Amino acid sequence: MDLQYLKELLAIFDASSATELMIEEEGASVSISKRGPDQVVAQVAPAAHAHIPAHGTNTQPAPAHAMPAAAPVADENTHTILSPIVGTFYSSPSPDAPAFVQVGTRISVGQTLCIVEAMKLMNEIESDVSGTIVSILANNAQAVEYNQPLFIVKPN
């Protein structure tokens, strides 16, 4: 499934009265559900054998920690960190380095959480709140959109 196909699917789903949708295609699955007015949650699971390019030229499977499980929905007790730009999400500074953060990591204001690559520029995304990572909503090497939720944090 390509990004344009997913965008079209989300637009059609958002305009419909349906509250849940699940599609499996070519070994990948997409699960979409509406949690409330104007709030759509989408989860994409790549095929088990799919290889995701990491930071450009190297190819390696995505680390297990990068695949979000059933992502909790943000509520009044959590803070959502959004992507400030369109680009490619990277959970670590290089393909062989550990992730900046994982679920359960305690973070502070200004701490680097990930990198979003845009036009060959690596943009470090920093936390604007102190707390604990509750959920990571993007997979390593995944294309992300402007204002797309990347992390859910439980503030201190």
What pLDDT, in 10s, does the model give residues 138-152? 999 999 999 999 999
Residue 61 has a pLDDT of 43
Q: pLDDT band for position 47 (50/70/90)?
A: very low
- The whole model's pTM is what? 0.55
CATH 2.40.50.100 domain residues, the chain: 52-156
- DSSP string over 43-109: EEE--TT--EEETTTEEEPPPGGGS--SPPPP-TT-EEEEPSSSEEEESSSSTTSPPS--TT-EE-T
Tokens 């959004």 found at: 82
- Mean pLDDT in residue range 113-130: 95
Cross-strand pairs, 121? 118
- 120: alpha, beta or left, given left = phi > 0 and alpha = psi -120 to 50? left
Q: 1-24 pLDDT, tens per residue?
A: 667 777 777 777 777 777 777 777
Domain 52-156 classified CATH 2.40.50.100?
Answer: yes
Does the pLDDT of residue 82 top 60, yes or no?
A: yes
pLDDT tens digits along 23-42: 777 666 677 766 655 444 55
